[in-house]
């Protein structure tokens, strides 16, 4: 464990933790069904056969969870609003209560409007393969904003449209379980359009602080061979540039046009509606090589032979329980690369997720992971990248999608039998880090600071 204190972050830097509705709320029978309810009901979709019908039961225990946030000392809490719950009678009441509870303890609520739990009724009408879903999303965003805008200032439209396209629609390991490979690309476009339309709807409702949470990471070619380099470039295109460039530059990168809806270009003006900040979820770099010519699997994700790339192990690094390598400098490199690529077009950045899965409440590996990534983030700031916040995934152990409850990302342990919450060592460590950061800020701020000792 690092012995030096973490260097002070800039004044006003926002420290937070993240969750999402489907992964923690439970109370599935108190809302309309979502694609994830249908998906997890199919045998074989989730590793341990579990569903999120109860999950952390946060819907009924949110007061206890807000008390945990308050005691932790974070500035902000990123959660998601469940669209199928908002579509149910009285569904917005829950978020009203949650926001009140957060405001009462001085934790800033930062809602994400879509974190993968599409109402099942919309899926039955075609879901994200249908352009119309984008317009439905903007209407829903306006409804949520009308209810919460008096207390919620900072908003996030979508979580990781890249992963929702790839895992949910191209490879079929997440809901809605489609395996369309490149024919999934309209799903990317319709989510980006939904984002742009929602930004306009939120602004029309008077909201002035809007971002998105995109999944990004460096892609490393498996070797210097041209076939590996070309495969890594294509992966970079799919994970990073396909989602960053329409938002930041108002254009799609070359190379995927044939898979996109015909008139996609006409939507770019809406999609590029300027953002107040750009959210990045970072976990690890991806090492990419030329296709293997056979079906493969990597960290639990099937990579069919038809795809023009393969995923390779990053050697010589510790891995988390999810099998993902621990590469903190990947975060520094990602941020400086974004700054170099997009320059003035990149608004201030917020890390909207970063974290790891490990067993146990004496979670020294999580402390080491977070410590190293926070230092890597500080190095990016020193290198001149304008980063305004850092959110850890996650407050609680929760329903980790196709992995079920087998992967624990929480700062707080949840016993899924008794639903009892137990803060882990990492929770206490973070509380101390946040205390030091507050003291550092005061020290930097004031003439009242007693430096004479
Ligand atoms: C996020 O997705 C989600 O927003 C969140 O809901 C989820 O619980 C959390 O992360 C943890 O999974 O195999 O080394 O190449 C993260 C998407 C996709 C990021 C797979 C890491 C694999 C890295 N992840 N990726 S590697």
- What interface predicted TM-score (ipTM) does this complex get? 0.97
Quote the pLDDT of residue 441: 72
User: Does the annotation flag 393 for ligand binding?
Assistant: yes
Phi/psi class of residue 284: alpha, beta or left (left: φ > 0; alpha: ψ in -120 to 50)?
Answer: beta
Quote the pLDDT of residue 4: 78
The pLDDT averaged over each successive group of 10 residues in the chain (453 residues) is: 82 98 98 98 97 98 99 98 98 98 99 99 98 98 98 99 98 98 98 99 98 98 98 98 98 96 97 98 98 95 96 98 98 98 98 98 98 98 98 99 98 98 98 95 48 33
Nearest CA to ligand 1 atom 8: 400
Q: Tell me whether residue 353 is one of the annotated catalytic residues.
A: yes
Q: Is 400 in the pocket of ligand 1 (CB under 6 A)?
A: yes
Q: Is 403 in the pocket of ligand 1 (CB under 6 A)?
A: no
Backbone angles phi, psi at 452, to 5 degrees: -70, -25
Q: In this structure, what token pair is assigned to residue 178?
A: 């489609």
Residues 93-126, buried b or exposed e (16+ Cβ, 10 A)? ebbeebbebbeeeebbbbbbbbbbbbbbebbeee
User: Does the annotation flag 400 for ligand binding?
Assistant: yes
> CA distances (Å), 330 to each of 37, 216, 307, in order?
35, 10, 25
Quote the pLDDT of residue 3: 61
Considering the candidates 25, 32, 353, 365, report the single residue annotated as catalytic: 353
Cα–Cα distance, 114 to 34 (Å, whole number) = 12
User: Does the annotation flag 63 for ligand binding?
Assistant: no
Considering the candidates 160, 245, 365, 403, report the single residue annotated as catalytic: 160
**Ligand 1 atom showing the smallest separation from residue 298 Cα:** 13
Predicted TM-score (pTM) of this structure? 0.97
Give the contacts of 2 (CB within 8 A, at least 6 positions apart): 368, 371, 372, 375
């Amino acid at each position: 464990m690092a012995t030096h204190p973490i260097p002070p972050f800039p004044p006003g830097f926002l420290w937070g933790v993240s969750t999402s509705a489907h992964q923690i709320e439970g109370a599935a029978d108190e809302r309309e069904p979502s694609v994830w309810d249908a998906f997890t009901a199919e045998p074989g979709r989730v590793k341990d056969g579990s569903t999120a019908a109860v999950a952390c039961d946060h819907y009924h225990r949110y007061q206890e969870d807000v008390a945990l946030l308050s005691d932790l000392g974070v500035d902000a809490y990123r959660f998601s609003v469940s669209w199928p719950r908002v579509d149910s009678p009285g569904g917005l009441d829950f978020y009203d209560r949650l926001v009140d509870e957060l405001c009462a303890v001085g934790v800033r609520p930062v809602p994400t409007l879509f974190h993968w739990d599409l109402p099942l009724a919309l899926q039955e009408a075609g879901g994200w393969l249908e352009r119309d879903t984008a317009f439905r999303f903007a209407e829903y965003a306006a409804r949520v904003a009308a209810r919460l805008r008096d207390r919620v200032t900072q908003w996030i439209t979508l979580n990781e449209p890249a992963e929702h396209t790839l895992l949910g629609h191209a490879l079929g390991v997440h809901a809605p379980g489609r395996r369309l490979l490149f024919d999934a690309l309209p799903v990317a476009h319709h989510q980006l359009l939904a984002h742009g339309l929602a930004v306009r709807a939120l602004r029309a409702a008077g909201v002035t602080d809007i971002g998105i949470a995109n999944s990004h990471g460096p892609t490393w070619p498996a070797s210097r061979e041209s076939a590996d380099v070309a495969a890594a470039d294509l992966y970079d295109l799919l994970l990073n540039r396909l989602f960053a460039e329409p938002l930041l530059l108002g254009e799609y990168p070359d190379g995927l046009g044939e898979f996109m809806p015909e008139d996609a270009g006409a939507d770019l003006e809406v999609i590029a509606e300027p953002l107040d900040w750009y959210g990045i979820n970072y976990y690890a770099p991806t090492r990419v090589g030329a296709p293997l010519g056979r079906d493969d699997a990597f960290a639990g994700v099937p990579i069919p032979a038809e795809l023009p790339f393969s995923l390779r192990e990053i050697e010589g690094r510790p891995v988390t329980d999810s099998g993902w390598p621990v590469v903190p400098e990947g975060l520094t490199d990602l941020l400086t690369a974004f700054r170099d690529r997009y320059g003035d077009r990149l608004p201030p950045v917020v890390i909207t997720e970063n974290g790891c899965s490990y067993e146990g409440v004496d979670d020294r590996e999580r402390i080491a992971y977070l410590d190293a990534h926070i230092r890597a983030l500080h190095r990016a700031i020193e290198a001149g990248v304008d980063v305004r916040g850092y959110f850890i995934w996650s407050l609680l152990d929760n329903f980790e999608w196709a992995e079920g409850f087998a992967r624990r990302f929480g700062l707080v342990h949840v016993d899924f039998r008794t639903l009892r919450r137990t803060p882990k060592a990492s929770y206490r460590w973070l509380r101390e880090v946040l205390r030091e950061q507050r003291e550092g800020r005061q020290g930097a701020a004031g003439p009242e600071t007693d430096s004479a000792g």
